[in-house]
Amino acid sequence: MTKKKTWIQKGIQLAPIVGLLLVLGLIIYGYQHGIFQSAHSLQQFMRQFGKYAVFLFIMIQIIQVIVPILPGGISSVAGMLMFGNGWGLLYSCIGLIIGEAIGFLLVRYYGTSFVRFILSPKKYQKFEQLVTDKTQNIKKVLIVTMLLPFAPDDLICLVAGLTKLTFKEYMQIVILLKPWSVAIYSMIMLYLFHQAQGHW
């Protein structure tokens, strides 16, 4: 019985690593095939999956929070163009909120070693500065960054994982405020996309 528990515990510990390796594999494949270069290329890739495109899109949004693989707003624009503004925003919010939850839990479990692994040296430097400056008022900072569309909320969410903020409190803030910032940010990016394409 003890051996069985040990194997289960090892499996739980290894699961995030296996998941991360699969994510890295998807990122490498995506870059090699030009999937993440534009909203159009991302759309073309997702269309191949037919009715499973929604699940793939949500998965990409989850990954996007933990390991930033796309220039800002590309995935949200692709989702809105493919599924319509309303459904695209809903799927974006679902994926991003799940991603924020996973990111928080991974940081709480693995600490700064996980953050160092997923962030570039430049972003990690910003992360360290935020940890130094913002941990005392993390709840207020989290609320403000969630309300501002272009604020570094993903970094603040990682910082929150190192604080005493409970997962329940964290998720209440994210679920309540994340959809607003996603909607505003996505609509601005969609407008800019149409402007660039000359379709507005």
- Domain limits, the chain: 26-195
- Percent of the chain at pLDDT > 70 equals 69
Q: How far is CA 19 from the centre of its chain?
A: 15
The per-residue b/e assignment along 33-60, b for 16 or more CB within 10 angstroms, e otherwise, is: eebbebbebbbebbeeeeeebbeebbbb
Q: What pLDDT digit, counting tens, does each position of 19-66 carry?
A: 556 555 665 666 666 665 666 676 677 777 788 888 888 888 888 777
Q: Is residue 89 scored above 80 in pLDDT?
A: yes
What pLDDT, on a 0 to 100 scale, did the predictor assign at position 17? 59
Quote the pTM value.
0.73
Which is nearest to 124 in space by CA: 159, 73, 96, 173?
Answer: 159
